[in-house]
Amino acid sequence: MDKMLVTRVATAVKECYGAAVSENEVQLQETRKEFEGDWTVVVFPFTRYSRKSPEATAGELGDYLQRHIVEIKAYNVIKGFLNLTISPAYWIGVLNEATGKERFGYAGKQDGKRYMIEYSSPNTNKPLHLGHIRNNFLGWSVSEILRANGHEVIMVNLVNDRGIHICKSMIAWQKFSNGATPGSTGKKGDHFVGDYYVRFDREYKAQVEQLVKDGTPEEEAREQAPILLEAREMLRLWEAGDPATIALWRQMNDWVLQGFEETYRLMGVSFDKVYFESETYKKGRDIVLKGLADGVLYRKESGSVWADLTSDGLDHKLLLRDDGTSVYMTQDIGTACDRFSEFDIDEEIYVVGNEQNYHFQVLSLICKKLGFEWAGKIKHLSYGMVELPEGRMKSREGTVVDADDLIAEMIETARVTSAELGKLDGYSEEEAAEVYRKVALGALKYFILKVDPKKTMTFNPKESIDFNGNTGPFIQYTYTRIRSIERKAKEAGITALPADPLSPLSGKEQSLVKLIARLPSVVAEAGESYSPALLANYIYELAKEFNQFYHDYPILKETDETTRNTRLLLAMQCGVTIRNAAGMLGIEMPERM
């Protein structure tokens, strides 16, 4: 309807005033709730053609549109705004058209672009934490939203399994483990290795403090701490292919990767392909050395290789260290090259926190300087950090919120809250456990995804699992309420049929239909902006509107059969819409709560 109205308004201006205006000049918006109408046309831009007041121009355009568009029931003018009221028969038609489409909200054809979306990207020196949770949920949801828009999406993970940070955990394990393993300690592998990363940092700080106490300048002490020198030597040995170093690296990586798989399963996220930095960094190094030979890059006297980006308003970027070892940028160049060679990608999106904005700006620029045509297809989906009420988390100091612990805490909170409210009375232990899981993950995903990705957010577990307000459990409870209505209708032998076009619609019922009809456009906007928050807040608005309707109007107890049928159909389509939209966020809907 909105697209048709834009076209007809442009036609009306031409017919009434002889002026050809483009559709881009037509400003159309939903009518504000305090005014009567469904769509509002901003008339001010057309007064230069009519040479009349905004009110007179709006009246003439309103007359024309009402005569030529059968769906327009009435119009009113508020200053320079033309408010159009659409007939109930049109909204009944919208409801009937949406009904029966199990994939309502999804594009009918998969004929769009091909995207590759990289998310998660963990380091194998520590378990996944709250920051990774936002990254994983955001990457997975954006992938699903793009698929819903008809695009092909390849979801990938790049595991950062090499580098100095990995060697820090390895050195600490060699020094302090006494041969302990995840199996011997009963600890999940990623947590086990992460403990040694924290242990390294503790030991490193103690050594720096001692060196400073012995008279070494602090900056020099930070570079000369013995345990750090050992980690650097281990990295050199790893890149040289030393068998003992490689064997230890494989063993500790395997421990971590097994732990990651368990966490991904709990989160409900997956990948089409997993890349490993250890397999791509050499490709990047070869590309850098070729760029050096071609004169695109330069080498310092110390032996390190750099890119000069000053002509582009940036600085000099290190690509190979003095000892020839690679940095993150080197690996990303090699990985990007492999991906564009393997897949015909229209756009590669990196889901990475905003502290890496500069990194991806430089990545695209260096790839362009190296002559890769695909450099302009690199995009960074930059998102804000997740903080706790007490501030930022720090992995090396062990002050992070562990992903596994958080999910377990959320499930327990869901169990306690449900028990207090008596929502799962009569459920078997297995049935209740499944609902707890869906509610907990729904609460966590919704709380994370309802915030604009660009914004830093503060996470509050208890607030997220409230059954009232703008939360996942509130939306899930609304869905189960609708499913309960459907079950009762079935038990009573009531079947929802297509709504009668002449069936009257109250204001609240019409508002619900309008909200349902918005889903495809919200999905499109969320895809264009890579923002699941638009979809999350749409679902909340729909759930809130449905609950107000449910409170004010009887459905199955309605005595007029035509009205009852329309309301039942409306409730059922609200359920489908909530389920499908929430599904794009990775939120599962319980059948009962």
In a domain? residue 24: yes
Give the pairing type, strands 28-30 and 39-42. antiparallel
Q: Are residues 539 and 413 in the same domain?
A: yes
Q: Which of 357, 387, 417 is the last residue of a domain?
A: 387
Q: Which of 37, 65, 86 is the last residue of a domain?
A: 86
Determine the pLDDT at residue 488: 96
Q: What is the pLDDT of residues 208-244, one digit of tens each?
A: 999 999 999 999 999 999 999 999 999 999 988 999 9
- 365-369 long-range CB contacts below 8 Å, 24 or more apart? 365/309, 365/312, 365/314, 366/307, 366/309, 366/317, 366/319, 366/329, 366/333, 367/333, 367/336, 367/337, 369/291, 369/296, 369/307
Question: Which CATH number does the domain housing residue 421 bear?
Answer: 1.10.730.10
CB 54 within 8 A of CB 2: no
Neighbours of 255 (CB within 10 A): 21
Count of the separate structural domains present in the chain? 3
Q: Are residues 40 and 137 in the same domain?
A: no
Give the pairing type, strands 457-458 and 298-299. unpaired
CB 167 within 8 A of CB 234: yes
pLDDT at 531 over 70: yes
pLDDT at 459 over 70: yes
In a domain? residue 95: no
Q: What is the arithmetic mean of pLDDT over 235-258?
A: 95
Q: Are residues 233 and 356 in the same domain?
A: yes
Determine the pLDDT at residue 393: 42
In a domain? residue 592: no
Q: Which of 387, 416, 436 is the last residue of a domain?
A: 387
Q: What is the arithmetic mean of pLDDT over 559-572?
A: 95
Determine the pLDDT at residue 328: 85
Question: Which CATH number does the domain housing residue 78 bear?
Answer: 3.30.1360.70
pLDDT at 416 over 90: no
In a domain? residue 109: no
Q: Are residues 272 and 354 in the same domain?
A: yes
Q: Are residues 237 and 198 in the same domain?
A: yes
Q: How confident is the model at residue 324 (pLDDT cuts 50, 70, 90)?
A: confident
Q: Are residues 281 and 318 in the same domain?
A: yes
- DSSP, collapsed to helix, strand or coil, labels residue 326 as strand
Residue 463 belongs to what domain range? 403-583
Q: What is the arithmetic mean of pLDDT over 167-183?
A: 96
Return the percentage of the chain with pLDDT > 90, whole number. Answer: 80
CB 49 within 8 A of CB 13: yes
Q: What is the arithmetic mean of pLDDT over 389-398?
A: 49
Q: How confident is the model at residue 464 (pLDDT cuts 50, 70, 90)?
A: confident
Question: Which CATH number does the domain housing residue 371 bear?
Answer: 3.40.50.620
Q: Are residues 489 and 362 in the same domain?
A: no
Q: Are residues 343 and 482 in the same domain?
A: no
Mean pLDDT (the chain) is 92
In a domain? residue 134: yes
Q: How confident is the model at residue 280 (pLDDT cuts 50, 70, 90)?
A: confident
Beta bridge partners of 40: 29, 83
Determine the pLDDT at residue 413: 86
Return the percentage of the chain with pLDDT > 70, whole number. Answer: 97
pLDDT at 396 over 50: no
Q: Are residues 308 and 418 in the same domain?
A: no
In a domain? residue 104: no
Q: What is the arithmetic mean of pLDDT over 286-314?
A: 95
Q: Are residues 203 and 288 in the same domain?
A: yes
Q: Are residues 144 and 47 in the same domain?
A: no
Q: What is the arithmetic mean of pLDDT over 64-79?
A: 94
In a domain? residue 362: yes
Determine the pLDDT at residue 555: 96
Q: Are residues 479 and 357 in the same domain?
A: no
Determine the pLDDT at residue 395: 42
Tokens for 101?
């489409």
In a domain? residue 107: no
Q: How confident is the model at residue 275 (pLDDT cuts 50, 70, 90)?
A: very high
Determine the pLDDT at residue 373: 94
